[in-house]
Amino acid sequence: MSSPVAPQRAVVRSAARVVVKVGSSSLTNPGGGLDPERVDALVDALGGRLAAKVEIVLVSSGAIATGIGPLGIRRRPRDLATQQAAASVGQGILLAHYTGAFARYDRTVGQVLLTAEDVTRRAHYRNAQRTLYRLLELGVVPIVNENDTVATDEIRFGDNDRLAALVAHLVHADLLVLLSDVDGLYDGPPSRTGSQLIAEVRGQADLQGVTVRGTGSGVGLGGMVTKVEAARIATSAGVPVVLTSAANAAAALAGDPVGTLFHPTGERRGTRMLWLAHATDARGRLHLDPGAVEAVVRRRLSLLPAGITAVDGSFVAGDPVDLVDEKGHAVARGLVNFDATELPDLLGRSTRDLAKELGPAYEREVVHRDDLVILRR
């Protein structure tokens, strides 16, 4: 018999579109290799909500861990090339198991592989959003993962917890459920006597004094640190989050008071800007004078060459760069309109003068305000 549904979990029960993230350790054996029984158990938990007409997007880790066995590798490889090889082998095996498991509920699955670059460049992110929306309209369960086979160190999300938080915002989900091998957030190591489960988090104050350490397994990257960060990203954009173990998936999705519920702390905002802030690593830095900082941060204006004092890094037009103040603190991130090699000759000059000397192509912003997000200090 299930436990009584607490009033605060009404937000879970009423969710019409849910993003569920599951980690490698919840799908694979300790030494690597997919565990079909764990896959079936997860799909059974999701099947109950699908029957209730809830739309589900599944963000699933496990491709690399699944590919380790067939390649004869004992532990998760450290080098990127071998990780990509394992992902290439494992992704097909993982999707085949999901296909068979969801077929028991008369559901088709669709694979969606993303890199950070896919969803920060405007045309790419809109295409990813359209694809996910159309899959849901057709009754398909999207299976999302980072595209490990082609992602480089510079364009990786780094962990699927963060990816799941961003996907939840991308598809305008009503709820994000993070599943792992830990049944919730504790105020100390779960194995330590006296550690208490934190049932609800309404803001940063509820995390004061909480010791959060990485708990990643030998085959996965995610730990409690990444899950709390993912919850912060999602809730700051208006999406509630439930963090619990894969064993509690059915109860969590039904609204039972299991795990930890993170309440929204902010409102929904521009999807692409959320991705720009949280899914990218800056390829360089533009140093701003005080006037430019004021214009960008306070007045939310575009960045012009006249306000830039120096340029660091190697980047090309369209890459993300950090905008830093006189003390070197990053105050914003944006997509730059010039290559790093072009900018030094433009610094401190007005766009009108540049246009007269170099042509109309130079009468434009270095970073347009529509491609710029202010960073939290």
Domain match, 313 and 210 both = no
Asked if the structure places residue 243 within a domain, the reply is: yes
Domain match, 80 and 140 both = yes
User: Which stretch of 2-11, 185-194, 203-212 has the lowest confidence by average pLDDT?
Assistant: 2-11
Which residues lie closer than 8 Å to 21 by C-beta, 6 or more apart? 58, 59, 60, 61, 160, 161, 163, 164, 176, 177, 178, 179, 230
Write out the residue range of the structural domain in which residue 238 sits: 7-275
User: Which stretch of 64-73, 88-97, 148-157, 344-353 has the lowest confidence by average pLDDT?
Assistant: 148-157
Task: Say whether pLDDT at 157 is over 80.
Answer: no
- Torsion, Cα of 352, 354, 360, 366 (10° steps): -90
285 - beta bridge partners?
312, 322
Residue 151 — pLDDT band, cuts 50, 70, 90? Answer: low
Instruction: Provide the 3-class DSSP secondary structure of residue 94.
Output: helix
Q: Which residue has the higher pLDDT, 272 or 79?
A: 79
Cα separation, 10 vs 54, in Å, equals 15
Domain match, 243 and 306 both = no
Mean pLDDT of the chain: 85
Residue 180 — pLDDT band, cuts 50, 70, 90? Answer: confident
* Percent of the chain clearing pLDDT 90 (strictly above): 47
Domain match, 113 and 225 both = yes
The reported pLDDT for the residue numbered 244 is 95
* Number of domains observed in the structure of the chain: 2
Domain match, 12 and 143 both = yes
Domain match, 217 and 323 both = no
Domain match, 192 and 89 both = yes
Task: Say whether pLDDT at 141 is over 70.
Answer: yes
Domain match, 246 and 329 both = no
Domain match, 75 and 216 both = yes
This model's pTM is above 0.85: no
Task: Say whether pLDDT at 281 is over 80.
Answer: no
Instruction: State pLDDT tens for residues 195-218.
Output: 889 989 988 877 776 765 544 444
Q: Which of 277, 2, 278, 46 is closest to 177 using CA atoms?
A: 46
Asked if the structure places residue 39 within a domain, the reply is: yes
The reported pLDDT for the residue numbered 284 is 93
The reported pLDDT for the residue numbered 216 is 45
Mean pLDDT to the nearest integer, 183-194? 83
What DSSP string runs through 8-72? GGHHHHT-SEEEEEE-GGGTB-TTSSB-HHHHHHHHHHHHHHHHTT-EEEEEE--HHHHHHTTTT
Domain match, 260 and 166 both = yes
User: Which stretch of 14-23, 76-85, 263-272, 308-317 has the lowest confidence by average pLDDT?
Assistant: 263-272
Which residues lie closer than 8 Å to 307 by C-beta, 6 or more apart? 288, 289, 291, 292, 295, 296
Residue at a domain's end among 275, 306, 328: 275
Asked if the structure places residue 223 within a domain, the reply is: yes
Q: Which residue has the tokens 């993982």?
A: 94
Instruction: State pLDDT tens for residues 86-97.
Output: 888 999 999 999
Q: Which residue has the tokens 């529509």?
A: 370
Domain match, 205 and 326 both = no
Asked if the structure places residue 307 within a domain, the reply is: yes
Instruction: State pLDDT tens for residues 338-362.
Output: 999 999 989 988 888 888 888 888 8
The reported pLDDT for the residue numbered 123 is 65
Domain match, 337 and 231 both = no
Residue at a domain's end among 253, 275, 297: 275
